[in-house]
Amino acid sequence: MMRRALALARKGEGRVEPNPMVGCIIVRKGRIIGEGYHRRFGGPHAEIEALRSCTPSARGATVYVTLEPCCHYGKTPPCTDALIRAGVARVVTPFRDPNSMVNGAGIRGLREAGITVQTGVLADEAAEVLAPFLTRVRLHRPYVIAKWAQSLDGVLVTPPGQSRWISCERSRRIVHRLRARVDAILVGVGTVVADNPLLTARDVPLRREAARVILDGKLRIPLSAKVVATAKTTPTLVFTTPQAEKTKKAESLSRKGVEVIACRARNGRLLVGDCLSRLADREVTNLLVEGGPAILHAMLTVGMTDEVWLFLAPKIIGGRSQAHSLLSTPACGNPRSATVERSGDDLLFRLRLTDPPLNDLRP
């Protein structure tokens, strides 16, 4: 039953953040009598959706829910109160909600009301589903997905005069679907100068609109760049140094709708950890890094990348291999899991680099 609840939880991906994806199954006498999942941020939680769908009453039933039920008023009333009013007999959940307003209080409230609570069921599988939420809440940074396309000879950036596309059309569509469910897309200013990208999801169903984030310590971004020209309709953030944030160039960007944010720097280089922390302050849960080799290498080197999506194209481009420096980082050299699948003419390798920060949330 918990696996069914986890499958339901995944349906909320890209719609519920910064809330966690949660699914709920209600069972009586071995039969499912209700189920639901958190469908959108600000909407009813999974437990409420499941209770509303119950036929017959949930009284005396067992509830399988993929995260500890909330016990506080937020955008919706406490789920613990609804479960108590419904008269359920038992609640099964993998682990505590790390949110400081819950963190075991929901479980205590249910037990004080006479409801049996079992924890620890499929905790590892639930942590995989909830990894982005756990990462933001516990590590105070977004869940980071690094994506790049490379040729067989390790080239990530094509020479002048050649098509800038390395991957095939199907692979590029997969990237647009990924863009359509993350909170933000990050690149370095070098990518903006070289490619002038729009950094939006196009021709795919949009689950949420991602903010564009550009790391630019010297404010080299052109005022004519597409991300600047569209900043008043699509959120655009430029992270720079405290010195650059005080310049006339910063004022010009601000007038065009760009939010210029000063971050900590060392020797003129922005500190990746501080940039990620500031995104977490804005409740960015999933971050897609699409920058060039320098930005990707920086993200991998500091150990703050959770997944890699590598599109390998069956072509030889020639020139210096940029992939070696990325794949030789300790993070990529020892992934905790890896999968490979066909993507049109390409191969898509997905590497999982980190474990979900579950730690003391286990029972």
What is the rounded CA–CA span in Å between residue 257 and residue 81? 44
d(C-alpha 81, C-alpha 75), whole Å:
15
Give me the amino acid identity at 165. Answer: W
Instruction: Tell me how far apart the alpha carbons of residues 292 and 126 are, in angstroms, rounded to a whole number.
Output: 33
The amino acid present at 286, given as its one-letter code, is: N
Give the CB-side neighbour count of residue 126, counting CA atoms within 13 A.
Answer: 28
47 is catalytic: yes
C-alpha pair distances (Å), 254 with each of 175, 213, 223, 247, 249 = 29, 14, 10, 11, 9
| Length of the chain measured in residues | 363
Determine the residue type at 42: G
Alpha carbons within 13 A on the beta-carbon side of 114: 7
Q: Catalytic: which of 17, 47, 290, 307?
A: 47
Cβ proximity of 215 and 244 under 8 Å: no
| Calpha distance 67→95 (Å, rounded) | 6
List Cα–Cα distances, 346 to 209, 222, 225, 314, in angstroms: 27, 33, 30, 6
Q: Checking DSSP bridges between strand 265-266 and strand 259-262, what pairing results, if any? A: unpaired
In the chain, helix, strand, coil percent, each to 5?
A: 30, 20, 45
Enzyme catalytic residues: 47
